[in-house]
Amino acid sequence: MNTYKSHVEKSECPIAHALDVIGDRWTLIIIREMMFMGKHEFGEFLEAPEKISTNILADRLKKLSSLGIIDFIEHPQNKTKKLYYLTDIGVGLIDVMVEVILWVDKYLSTAPSPIIENIKNHTPEFIEKTKKNIQSWNEKNL
């Protein structure tokens, strides 16, 4: 046994600051739904296969807002609704999310799917396309 000298010095690894976002199942699910599924409404998030419950969803939406990762506006046609959307900080998480997808595919590989093939072979294009989708929604609605 022989511990190598780490090339990263103590407390210089800032992953800690992301633990509240990345290290939480529900925030990740919400971000996934917004980022890749184009969802914006409370009721849409409830439809995610993980069956998030309403109190948890409300809590995490608040948390993500206070962290500056998402924000919301009033629904233009329905005063009782809000439209949640990713801020630039939130959109910035796409690189993390894509790496997660690639990792799952590479090592935990579930059934092969054409969309994963596409993401794998055209990663930058996929990221750009996703960002464009998000931004075009923002331009129309904000």
Partner DNA sequence: CAGGATCCGTTTCGATACTG
Partner DNA sequence: CAGTATCGAAACGGATCCTG
Give the binding site for its own copies (CB under 8 A).
Answer: 1-19, 22-26, 28-29, 32, 36-40, 49-50, 75-77, 83, 88-89, 92-93, 95-97, 99-108, 110, 113, 115-116, 129-130, 133, 136-137, 140-141
Q: Which is nearer to its own copies, 47 or 58 (CB)?
A: 47
Residue among 116, 110, 107, 95 nearest 22 (CA): 95
What dihedral do alpha carbons 4, 8, 11, 13 form, nearest 10°?
A: -130
**Position 79 contacts DNA (CB under 7 A):** yes
Q: How far is residue 125's CA from residue 93's CA, in Å, rounded to a whole number?
A: 16
Backbone phi, psi, residue 11, to 5°: 60, 15
Q: How far is residue 25's CA from residue 28's CA, in Å, rounded to a whole number?
A: 5
DSSP secondary structure letter of residue 17: G
CA angle 12, 18, 23 (to 5 degrees): 125
142 binds, among DNA, its own copies, none (CB under 5 to 8 A by kind): none
Among 21, 30, 35, 61, binds DNA (CB under 7 A): 61
Among 32, 81, 120, 131, binds DNA (CB under 7 A): 81
**Position 118 contacts DNA (CB under 7 A):** no
**What residues make contact with DNA under the rule CB under 7 A?**
24-26, 41-44, 46, 51-56, 58-59, 61-62, 78-82
